Structure 1
Amino acid sequence: MPDASLYVPRFNVMDPDDVRPFVEAVATAQLVTVGDDGVPDATFLPVLWEGDRLVGHLARANAHWRRIVDGSPALAIVTGADTYVSPSWYATKAEHGKVVPTWNYSVVHLRGRVAVHDDADWVRGLVTRLTDRHERPRADPWAVTDAPADYVDKNLRPIVGVEVVVESVEAKAKLSQNRSDEDRAGVAGGLAADGREPDGLVAP
């Protein structure tokens, strides 16, 4: 695959132990591929990261899947919460005023080779696992088997499976780690005052 990388300053590296849980918690990605004509396509889709495979599905009516060349490079972008950071929140603003705005966010890039699965059994298995993952925390979880089989079959036909064999993972957590404890506390307080939950947007 061609050289490409996510810009990650040393103080913005996501803890390796946090990467897979982050992807599993977000559970969605922007899948980016390039067709034979060199034109890029991108689709937002639900995903599961299973072993070295990232799997998901697209609408059959979405021309993206038809333009995917099996075995070609793909990029899946998983993004978490993000926020504008006002320099007025920094404690250091009162000290010397040498502060500027920034943006805090977390993101994971998964690169690999992509394949399409236009197979009813494969798609049914994926949809079942996706459903189980999202219904599991509920007090009364719904299951694919709760619906009539013919109705499920009908609703599986309009979707197509896709799979990325993950070859590289790059993760970034830009959460004001390079600021002082006082500045991070100021950002957390500013976000809270704006009605935003600071967890996941500011480093502890």
Structure 2
Amino acid sequence: MHNRTRRIGMASAALVLCAVLVTVLAGASGGWRPTGPLLMGGVDGEPGAPYTLALDAPARPPSASERAWLDAGVVPGTTPQQRDMAERALRDLRLLTRPDGSVTASWHSFWSNIWPRDGSWVAAAYTATGHPDQALAVLRRLAHLQRPDGTWEARYTVDGVAPDDRAAQQDGNGWVPWAVWFWYVAQDPAAPATQAGLAALWPAVRAAA
């Protein structure tokens, strides 16, 4: 690997996770549900200003809380390199997810906003890697942000308001219900927590239809 450097933002992790999930879903045939590990990748970093990372730079070791969280789920990959990329990506997503379920594309500048499309994919990534509580928190936040007419704004600030007069986008009406389904089919449908979660999300799914 060359010693080139590349300016990167923490949004890279979410984008890579989304791309891999798309690949897995595109190759699946009939009735697929997330029961096995998925290959994902990403980069490591700290919240704050943009930073420069050498492509061959070692990652910061996980903190004790990060390690406990990773061990509670599944770190996908069939080789050490794949698992390392997946671990970095999951750590980035965890940093980008606030306690109320808001997921920003980055911690800085223009990208520190919530996109319903991106949040849907993050919820799917949490589901696929064994973190259903985080997935549900993200989905509940997206449901709360839904407009009265059943659509979503193109993006939101972390306070839940549109940052500009950009028109509402229709893709959220497909991505959010899909992410709800993705989460639901990975749970025990008879579990009280699953039933309560679906009951909280179903009004948003119906309104989006």
Q: Compute the TM-score of the two structures, normalised by the length of structure 1.
A: 0.28
Whichever structure has more helix as a proportion of its residues is 2
Structure label with greater radius of gyration: 1
Question: Would you tell me which structure has more strand in proportion to its own residues?
Answer: 1
What is the TM-score when the length of structure 2 is the normalising length? 0.28
